[in-house]
Structure 1
Amino acid sequence: MIPAYCTNVHPAEDLPGIVAQLDRHAVPVREELGADTLALGLWLSAPVARALASDAIARRGFRAELDARGLTVSTLNAFPYGGFHDDVVKHAVYLPTWTDPARLSYTADCATVLADLLPDSADYGSISTLPLAWREPWTTADDADARAAFAEITDVLRMASARPIRLAVEPEPGCVLDTVADAIGWLAGHVDPDHVGICLDTCHLAVSFADPAETVASIHRAGLSVVKVQASAALHVGEPGTDEARTALAAFAEPRYLHQVRENTPAGVLAADDLPDALDTLPAAHPWRVHFHLPLHAAPPEPLTATTGVLLAAMAALRSTVEVMPHVEVETYTWSVLPGFDQTSLSSGIAAELRWAASNLGVAV
């Protein structure tokens, strides 16, 4: 079966533009894969989500546009609020935070939209969201505001649909909830696990150098669930201090997105907030992992490798732990900044990646 692919790879931020991008890319991907239907991990900017949430007729019309193209939606990516393809995104992707009422409103709008997009076959819908905020500034008052917002969005989710719609919190390096362990500590015992759980982004998991099987086990020991997996791979380099490695890494130091780096030393994991910072400041004496979502089917140039092994291990751990697998969304939003990639080949690249995922992951939304 074919997992979903995340449409945050496309820059459209109005409804006509979204439909045009689906015609330009999603339909050709479905046709290239020979599939009757293709699942999307849909990204809607805040203005689009607001417009659709406010207009039931528009939601029905959009659902009809998806149905006509053989496209289904069981999960939304509500991490980026807007401007995700601006020339420079970096820290702006973490705004608004979960202390800002705009974040709550956006997520509630997404729940309203998703309720009307869910296919008849879907057991539940999922919405992935940011891990509260970038780590600085963050105060005890901010924490209290975020907890209140989560209580409110949980009430919204309870009433959004006859079928459950679940919020999936996505830990990311550098954020308030940097690791899955941080997310467990913040969520467990404080949220309704029927409506709020974890989005396990396996690129982020790899960057943290956490053990995939133990991570999955720890989520379930805490009484939480993996609501959604973002199937993704990070850059890995065993000897980042060599000239060859530094040259290869420098090609990925692009200006649009933040590429957090971690170095796994015997004394602990060292951190840099972006790849240029890492190249300047980390000792580079031990292995690095870099937050750069790589196409799952294509190896990066040597001596760099991809952490697809972490993805495969996490999926194996889930299969041995749960009766029903979570939603799976292939989230490679970095095609536009991938070194040497021919952008005219985007649809073929997405299809090749989904073909790899279907062969190796064995699940679908």
Structure 2
Amino acid sequence: MNTPYGHLSYCSNIHPGENWDEHFAVLQNSIPQIKAEVCPDAPMGIGLRLANQASIDLSINEHFSSFKNWLAENNCYVFTMNGFPFGNFHHTIVKDMVHAPDWTTQERTDYTIRLFELLAELLPENLQEGGISTSPLSYRFWWATDELLEQATIKATGNMISVVEALIELHKKTGKLLHLDIEPEPDGILENSDEFIHWYNNYLLPIGIKQLQSKGLSTEEATEAIKNHIQLCYDVCHFAVGFEKPVKVLEKLNANQLKVGKIQISSALKVDFSENAEEKLNEIAQYNEPTYLHQVVAKKNDGSYIKFPDLNEAITNFSNEINSWRVHFHVPLFLEQYGLLSSTQKDIVDVLDIHKEKPFTQHLEIETYTWGVLPKEFQAPLNESIIREIKWVKGVL
């Protein structure tokens, strides 16, 4: 829905369906009920997640026309998409394979361009801007040496510039300004704001300017195209896991004249071990589930940090040197406390307060996808949970 602070929706990666027929069936069942509760008298935006197979299916004219008609009949529209998970995201072990195939591959490049071609046609006539969030190049631990990591970074960056070339042509053809929104995540090649900015200035711009100059653009034109078409996805959970303060992140982005394409509104688990440490370890063990990666950044008593690739390793290696944890587990937005544990809900409020004061994007997307793997006391019917989250965010706004 359109708010005074941008378009707000939730990401459909919460729903299963890796082919279009399955995913569309879930949308048809869920969206009308949700819309009736959160914006009955206004158009409802959808943050659409399409797996690779679903994107191929939806490219068939018959399927695309049917979806466009359904959007019109239900007073809905698509303004943003999630292109991070390429394949299965439900009812399977995802873990680090959420990055596969990564940006070093042609498969990821082709998939992303296909998504943009669909988004350009799905955007309503009155919307000139759309974005797609994506993986932070690759999974860091797939590259055994610094040299291999460097080579992967360079290759992935070149493939992203190939997407920029496609977006330049789509802009000429449709008038729509589309941007690829890079989503830093713990243990991605790009984990945090500093790494994103370093990559942007030292890899993306130099490689991209050279590649676009070969297509006839000047240095100034190439720089402008890259900054318009490659932006940041500010996933609040991910930055909170890294103990990054929203105001500092946004100050650094502004200083480097880099844009935020989308805020993904999400909340992480937070654990304070200054008291009842053993009880809290037992409680957080409930969140050690086998489907998704739950990276942990631990703050030590001396103020330094240590990282763990997954929650089980953090639990196994816990010591009394640890002061607190941030855990990559997208918990419901509307709760601040989870028994003895808490959440980074305040980071969401802080980000949205900054945004309300001086808006820095037009796209706001709720992204809580872990309902099925939460401890049972925090589970509720899915549509009711989505409605509650949207209403909570509207209240903060």
Helix, strand or coil at the partner of 1:51 = helix
SS in 1 for 2:261: strand
Q: Does 1:68 align with 2:104?
A: no
Equivalent residue in structure 2 for 1:177, among 184, 190, 212 = 190
**Equivalences for 1:273-352 in 2 at 5 Å?**
273-283=309-319, 285-322=322-359, 325-340=361-376, 345-352=381-388
1:49 paired to 2:55: yes
The TM-score, its normalising length taken from structure 2, stands at 0.86
312-321 vs 210-219, which deviates more? 312-321
Three-state SS of the structure 1 residue aligned to 2:141 is: coil
Could you list the structure 1 runs, at least 4 aligned residues long, displaced by more than 6 angstroms after superposition: none
Aligned to 1:146: 156
1:166-210 per-residue CA deviation (whole Å, 9 max, x = no partner) reads 000000001110112111111136341111010000000100001
2:391 aligned with 1:355, yes or no? yes
The structure that is helix-richer by fraction is 2
Contact 1:216/1:317 (CA < 8 Å) preserved in 2?
Answer: no
Highest CA radius of gyration, 1 or 2? 2
Matched, 1:17 2:22: yes
Whether the 8 Å contact between 1:188 and 1:224 is mirrored in structure 2 is no
Unpaired runs of 5+ in structure 2?
A: 206-225
Q: Which amino acid aligns with 2:319?
A: P
Shift of 1:27: 1.5
Runs of at least 5 residues in structure 1 that lack an aligned partner in the other structure? none
Residue equivalent to 2:103: 98
CA displacement, residues 82-107 of structure 1 (integer Å, 9 cap, x when unaligned)? 10013211011010110010000010
CA distance in structure 2 between the partners assigned to 1:238 and 1:343 by the alignment: 24
Answer yes or no: is the 8 Å Cα contact 2:232–2:262 preserved in 1: yes
Cα deviation, 1:65-118, whole Å, max 9, x if unaligned, reads 222223211000000001001321101101011001000001000000001111
The alignment status of 1:186 with 2:196, answered yes or no, reads no
Distance 1:173 1:347 in 2: 29
Say if 1:75 and 1:313 are closer, same or farther in 2 by CA, change over 3 A.
Answer: same
Please state whether the residue corresponding to 1:4 is helix, strand or coil. strand
Q: How many residues align?
A: 359
Instruction: Percent identity, please.
Output: 30
Instruction: Please give the alpha-carbon distance, in whole angstroms, between the structure 2 residues aligned to 1:59 and 1:156.
Output: 21
Alignment of 1:215 with 2:220, yes or no, is no
- Alignment partners' CA distance in 2, 1:120 and 1:336: 36
Deviation per CA, 1:33-66, whole angstroms, max 9, x where unpaired? 242332111000101212333x345323321122
Q: Which residue of 1 aligns with 2:293?
A: 258
Is contact 1:171–1:179 with CA below 8 Å preserved after alignment? yes
CA distance in 2, matches of 1:343, 1:267: 35
CA contact (8 A) 1:43 1:76 kept: yes
Cross-structure match for 1:77: 82
- In the superposition, relative to structure 1, how do residues 83 and 286 fare at CA in structure 2: closer, same or farther (>3 Å)? same
Task: Identify the structure with bigger relative contact order (alpha carbons < 8 Å, sequence gap 6+).
Answer: 1
| 8 Å Cα contact 1:216-1:314 kept in structure 2 | no
Q: Distance in 2 between matches of 1:277 and 1:263?
A: 12
Change (3 A) 1:156 1:282: farther
Separation in 2 of the partners of 1:48 and 1:247? 40
